[in-house]
Structure 1
Amino acid sequence: MLIPGAHYRLAFTQVILAFAQVFNALTHYQLDYPDLALILALVRGGSLARAAALLKVDVSTVFRAVRRLEAALGQALFEKSRAGYLPTTLARTLAEQAERAEQALEAARIGVEQGGEVISGTVRLTCTDSVLHALLLPALAQFMLAYPALTLELSTSNDFANLSRRDADIALRLTRSPPEHLVGRRLGAVSYRVCASTAYLKSVEPSDLTQLSWIAPDDFLPDHPTVIWRRQQFPGVLPSYRCNSMLSVTELVRAGLGVAALPDFLIDPAQGLRPLSEPLLGYDTSLWLLTRPDCRALRSVVTLFDELSHWVRLPDQERC
């Protein structure tokens, strides 16, 4: 009978054996875990000194071990340069496998400590930078400590290409109509208001919005609701500043450089932002939590999806 976490050790062993068999066939040298740990430390550290610190050995030990391993494999793993030790394609591939083995061992350790199976693996999550800072990070802080064997890879993007290309497993997106090939949950409505900083308002007369300095998304976001609204309501206004993200737009407004239409989850009076308008009627959108249908079979993805559904909250929403 397998003890808790034994299946993780089995997976780790299978990873090692699979690569050992490949290299044994090519070089008659059988890789073991210390070899992979050495490669991983040098890839992460980029130099003999940093690798030695990670492995808790002296520099000469790392140097001799790398030379012995390259000689045994019959090919170089690193290119020596003034910048340090640069990994070859083979070294990067082996380092990735070493990380998987490392994660499997960590999951096994946690499983033994907790007396049962744990949620483990890597989940790739994508969202915009504004959603990341204002909504996702506060949510992750609420529950991620309960999943020490779960690894997240976070990326910021403004489109759905990450999920469509299978570069991500979960996405948090602002949209009225998510792509039909994705599945998910609508987490709530998002409205926009024209805002300015209290410092900026001390130097201008806010009654005529057309006379103020405008900050707006650039051509990277041509279909953004605030761009469409401004062009329809104030066709003669040319923004004084353009940014490639709503988070950057918000930072410029907060710095007192002008006004902008911002999503309500970025409007924080405690940070000196003051609304100058009611919500822009007809230009609201929704926050969606999305994934691919095939990801619903992955326990790690389903677990993170459910936790985010519970903890990601827009302003004025109560958690059930």
Structure 2
Amino acid sequence: MNWDDLKYFLAVCRMGSIRAAAAELKVSHATVSRRINNFEASLGQRLFERSAKGYTRTKIADEIYLESSHLEERLSTVARQLAGKDNSLSGDIRITFPDLFARDLLMPAVAEFCRQYPLIHIEIIDSTRMFNLANREADVAFRICDQPPEYLVGKKLAVMHRSCYMARKLLPELEQEGWLERQNWIGWSDKMRRPVGKIAREYPKFASRHKMTSGMVQAEACKNGMGISILPCFYGDSESELVRVPPYTTEGKFNFWLVYHPDLRKNAKIQIFVNFMVDYLLKLKPLIQGETPMPLN
């Protein structure tokens, strides 16, 4: 059995469609479709039921998925152990974080790191998905969570605070009686049209309009006056076109972590990168925790 076939098979199983698997593997839609068809032909078995909703595994595919996942894990372990012995300060580091983290928070630090270590190349995956670091889908991840999985190691950098923001250009409207109460939330999805939590309860009269699942897109909509958005303080307080909504409350919702797999503890370039980013981000802890003063003019 060809490992490459299993790699494509696993991607379709996890992503649920040929198109999503192609994006994950960074190949064409036709390539994934061809590899899956060839894999089924070589086995003489139908592995997926095709429908408009995507690809659903058959019973035999469930069995192959279980075994091939174990094989993938063992191969990844070997790859991690080899990577862990790398003492060079050159080559690639794959990191992942949501796109909203790029501006002001992470990219200035990444750029400075690259200036200091020009032989190390950075690959950035901007996604909110929890990539599997055990399978080396990424080397280092910046995550928002209460606690990372036990199989990872890393550093808790701060408690990430969030607040309600509006377009700064709308500040004069606050002087109108009742104007704020007539505003609306910018929703995230059908299931998350209205935010929850401490700061959301302070604005019970806000309606909910629009749905945007990207933090960056939602921030742009907020800047353009489409509604009130709950955003991380590190972004909202750094953006000149945004301002907190009275009473300017913040809420510490999640912990901000930098994590990686313990097999990479002795990888020289990973440790240089981790230590550099930790030192840099700890200096920004007041910004991340919403302690930056909020001038309104």
Q: Fold match, TM over 0.5?
A: yes
After superposition, the Cα gap between the structure-2 partners of 1:300 and 1:288, relative to the gap in structure 1 and judged at 3 Å, is: same
Q: How many aligned residue pairs are there?
A: 199
C-alpha RMSD of matched pairs (Å): 3.1
TM-score by length of 2: 0.58
Identity of aligned residues (%): 26
Secondary structure of 2:163's counterpart equals: strand
Which stretch of structure 1 is more off in the superposition, 232-241 or 295-304?
A: 232-241
Which residue in 2 is equivalent to 1:257? 226
Q: Offset of 1:298 from its aligned partner?
A: 1.6
| 8 Å Cα contact 1:188/1:314 also seen in 2 | no
Q: For 1:218, give the aligned amino acid.
A: S
Higher fraction of strand: 2
Q: Offset of 1:162 from its aligned partner?
A: 4.0
| Map 1:194-273 → 2, pairs under 5 A | 194-203=164-173, 205=176, 209-218=180-189, 226-227=195-196, 237-268=206-237, 271-273=240-242
Runs of at least 4 residues off by over 4 Å: 203-210, 226-238
Secondary structure of 2:94's counterpart equals: strand
- From 274, 278, 296, give the equivalent of 1:305: 274
Q: Offset of 1:210 from its aligned partner?
A: 4.7
Higher fraction of helix: 1
1:274 aligns with 2:211: no
Q: Larger radius of gyration, structure 1 or 2?
A: 1
Q: Offset of 1:219 from its aligned partner?
A: 5.3
Secondary structure of 1:190's counterpart equals: strand
After superposition, the Cα gap between the structure-2 partners of 1:288 and 1:304, relative to the gap in structure 1 and judged at 3 Å, is: same
TM-score by length of 1: 0.54
Q: Distance in 2 between matches of 1:160 and 1:241?
A: 26
Q: Distance in 2 between matches of 1:286 and 1:223?
A: 23
Q: Offset of 1:123 from its aligned partner?
A: 0.8
| Map 1:1-320 → 2, pairs under 5 A | 119-203=89-173, 205=176, 209-218=180-189, 226-227=195-196, 237-268=206-237, 271-276=240-245, 277-281=247-251, 283-312=252-281, 313-314=283-284, 316=286
Bigger RCO of structures 1 and 2 (CA < 8 A, at least 6 apart): 2
Q: For 2:139, give the aligned amino acid.
A: D
Give the unaligned 5+ runs of structure 2: 1-86, 289-297
Q: Distance in 1 between matches of 2:199 and 2:241?
A: 23
Give the unaligned 5+ runs of structure 1: 1-116
After superposition, the Cα gap between the structure-2 partners of 1:181 and 1:140, relative to the gap in structure 1 and judged at 3 Å, is: same
